[in-house]
Amino acid sequence: METVLSSASGSISKLCSCTILLLFLLSCSTFTSTEAYDALDPTGNVTIKWDVISWTPDGYVAVVTIYNFQQYRHIQAPGWTLGWTWAKKEVIWSMMGAQTTEQGDCSKFKGNIPHCCKKDPTVVDLLPGTPYNQQIANCCKGGVINSWVQDPANAASSFQVSVGAAGTTNKTVRVPRNFTLRAPGPGYTCGPAKIVRPTKFVTPDKRRITQAMMTWNVTCTYSQFLAQKTPTCCVSLSSFYNDTIVSCPTCACGCQNNITEPGSCVSERSPYLASAVSGPGKSSNSPLLQCTSHMCPVRVHWHVKLNYKEYWRVKITITNFNYRMNYTQWNLVVQHPNFDNLTQLFSFNYKSLTPYAGLNDTAMLWGVKFYNDLLSEAGPLGNVQSELLFRKDAATFTFEKGWAFPRRIYFNGDNCVMPPPDAYPWLPNSGFRPVISLLKLVMTILASIVFLWACM
């Protein structure tokens, strides 16, 4: 890297090379950290904690808790699936609050048959309504875990597992390996289990503290790139000052393709709509999208609605285009500089997110319980909406240059594709057209050359 940079700076002016170095470092850091870094939730993670609460003659009993420490990403139906590989020849004698999906080969056991003999068990949560004698606290929610901001009381899920053929002291227990978390699809990458200080538990009356025999933690982080190859959401824009409706970019989430994928989408007016919705694929939960130019399951529309002397008003509409999905506990993360002066919000919940001290331009919005916290499947009911009232800050407020439009929107934690900035509705008579300056263009090209060089 040293040599590449010095040979590059040899031929270009000093100022330029400094800028390039900076761009290069920036691009390198974003490239290496695409793994699982979310700028709006830098410490977001799912932590799986195992507390060994007692030893048994041939192993231990552990309470496993999955904590969703993500501000806005939740785990929706059909819920989480947790897997791991045993380090030795462990078996699961029994479980409470969850079950393995397969028992595996327990043929060498007589009398007492274990719950699961697989080397790599796969565990799922039990459903609501499970008999009380199979429940433990925080279990049995069908694997659904809420986000930390939206509902911290429901941001964790627990089960109890009784492990045999394992160590029976903190020296002989081997921690399980290769943790996998599907929530419900791919997207999470889990690190190795780390033995940490044993958890201390305070009794409900706060008069006694007990402690686990042994504790280990596993941290899993999310990457949208691993979760799906194409985006799942897009943004469209409009304003009172210009009739143009800027729709989602064409093919933002994929293209209509009746040739290679017949039936990949269905027209809203198709006479076969009902049979398509309940047709094959219904049980597998594969999406069935309404045919649109963007082919996204979800669209967020931002309309700049009114301009008052001291305030301005925005209407947000979220539309579902998937005939096979009800989004429960949906949420939106929106970045706009005026969120520091949000004055009023109608029919959504709101919390300001401040990923970095001093920056107050990001907000999380979600539905009101039992009113609009469910974004119904595509169709006449498949949308939710709200209006936001912002107070103008004379120093920054303007309708020019697309300032009134959001900088970034996430739906359920996944980035929504925005229209290109040069397509934003203009203020009448503002001859504004974004120009990419020649200098910037040259810099970008140089920087990408250096970057490619270094990566070769």
**Residues forming the site for ligand NAG (CB under 6 A):** 43, 45, 47, 49, 67, 69, 85, 170, 177-178, 195-196, 214, 217, 219, 242, 244, 246, 256, 258, 266-267, 270, 291, 324-326, 340-342, 352, 354, 360, 376-377, 391, 393, 423, 425-426, 428
Q: Is the Cβ of residue 129 or residue 428 nearer to ligand NAG in the bound state?
A: 428
Q: Is the Cβ of residue 203 or residue 260 nearer to ligand NAG in the bound state?
A: 260
Residues contacting 454, CB < 8 A, separation 6+: 1, 4, 5, 24, 28
Q: How far is the CB of 239 from ligand NAG (least distance, A)?
A: 8
Q: How far is the CB of 284 from ligand NAG (least distance, A)?
A: 12
Q: Is the Cβ of residue 98 or residue 378 nearer to ligand NAG in the bound state?
A: 378
Q: How far is the CB of 162 from ligand NAG (least distance, A)?
A: 20
Q: Residue 95 and residue 163: Cα distance in Å, rounded?
A: 9
Residues contacting 328, CB < 8 A, separation 6+: 76, 77, 144, 373, 374
Q: Is the Cβ of residue 215 or residue 415 nearer to ligand NAG in the bound state?
A: 215
Output DSSP code: residue 254. Answer: B
Q: Is the Cβ of residue 22 or residue 137 nearer to ligand NAG in the bound state?
A: 137
Q: Is the Cβ of residue 4 or residue 374 nearer to ligand NAG in the bound state?
A: 374
Q: Residue 65 and residue 63: Cα distance in Å, rounded?
A: 6
| Cis upstream peptide for 78 (omega within 30°) | yes
One-letter amino acid of 241: Y
Residue 276: φ, ψ to 5°: -65, -40
Q: Is the Cβ of residue 177 or residue 440 nearer to ligand NAG in the bound state?
A: 177
Distances (CA, A) of 356 to 39, 361, 389, 424: 9, 10, 24, 28
Q: How far is the CB of 98 from ligand NAG (least distance, A)?
A: 18
Q: How far is the CB of 47 from ligand NAG (least distance, A)?
A: 4
Q: Is the Cβ of residue 56 or residue 270 nearer to ligand NAG in the bound state?
A: 270
Q: How far is the CB of 358 from ligand NAG (least distance, A)?
A: 8
Residue 28: φ, ψ to 5°: -60, -45
| Count helices and strands in the chain by DSSP H and E runs | 5, 28
DSSP per-residue string spanning 274-319? HHHHTSTTTTTT---EEP-SS--SEEEEEEEEEE-SSEEEEEEEEE
Give SS3 for 325: coil
Q: How far is the CB of 156 from ligand NAG (least distance, A)?
A: 9
Q: Is the Cβ of residue 41 or residue 125 nearer to ligand NAG in the bound state?
A: 41
Q: Is the Cβ of residue 234 or residue 325 nearer to ligand NAG in the bound state?
A: 325
| Cis upstream peptide for 287 (omega within 30°) | no
Beta-carbon count within 10 A of 96 CB = 20
Whether 190 and 220 have beta carbons less than 8 Å apart is answered as: yes
Whether 219 and 233 have beta carbons less than 8 Å apart is answered as: no
Q: 289-290 and 265-266: which strand pairing?
A: parallel
Q: How far is the CB of 88 from ligand NAG (least distance, A)?
A: 10
Q: How far is the CB of 447 from ligand NAG (least distance, A)?
A: 30
Q: How far is the CB of 124 from ligand NAG (least distance, A)?
A: 19
Distances (CA, A) of 59 to 54, 93, 95, 174: 9, 10, 14, 11
Q: Is the Cβ of residue 105 or residue 400 nearer to ligand NAG in the bound state?
A: 400
Q: 81-85 and 177-182: which strand pairing?
A: antiparallel
Q: How far is the CB of 257 from ligand NAG (least distance, A)?
A: 7
Q: Residue 96 and residue 319: Cα distance in Å, rounded?
A: 39
Radius of gyration of the chain (CA): 26
